[in-house]
Amino acid sequence: MTNEEMKEKIQNRFNSQDFLSFVGMKLEHIEKGKVIISCENKKEFSQYLGYMHGGMVAAIADTAGGHAAGTMIEKGYKTVTSELKIHFLKPVVCKKVYAVGEVISAGKKLIIVESVVKDEEDNMLAKMIATMFVIEPS
C-alpha cells in the first residue's frame, strides 16, 4: 500500500465514524505509525468540576491511538481496542486539545500504541497506552 493509499484509508475510516463528527474531533495529521487528532472543548463535555470529562479525554486518546494502529495494517484488515490504561495528569480546561497517537510495536495480531493528550501550549494533560487487536478480513 502506498503512503497516499494509507492516508486515504485512514481518512475514510475516520470519516465513517458518526461519533467522531458528533463530538467534533478532527483528523489533523497522518503518517505511518502516527496520527494527530484535535477536538474543541465544549461545555457539554464537562464533568461536575468544569473539567473535560475523563471519558471524553480517553475517547480522544483512544481515537488517536486506534488510527495510528490503522496505519500499520493492510487494506481489508481492521483494529479494535482490546485494552487501554490512561493517566490523567492535569485537568482539561483549555479550549482545544490535541492527541498524538503513535505505534510502539506492531505485530500480526496486536498493535501497542501510546497517545499523549496536550493543550494548545503543548502541555501534557493525559497519557494513554493501549493494545489494539487486529481483525483479519472476512
Give the torsion sign (CA, 108, 104, 70, 62). Answer: positive
**69: which residues sit within 8 A by CB, 6+ positions away?**
79, 101, 103, 106, 111, 113, 132
pLDDT tens digits, 109-130: 999 999 999 999 999 999 999 9
Asked if 35 and 71 count as a contact pair (C-beta separation under 8 A), the reply is yes
Summarize the chain as % helix, strand, coil (round to 5): 30, 45, 30
What was the pLDDT predicted at 120? 96
Which among 88, 79, 89, 138 is positioned nearest to 112, based on CA atoms? Answer: 79
User: Average pLDDT of 68-97?
Assistant: 96
pLDDT tens digits, 5-64: 999 999 999 999 999 999 999 999 999 999 999 999 999 999 999 999 999 999 999 999
**Residue located via cell numbers 503518517:** 31
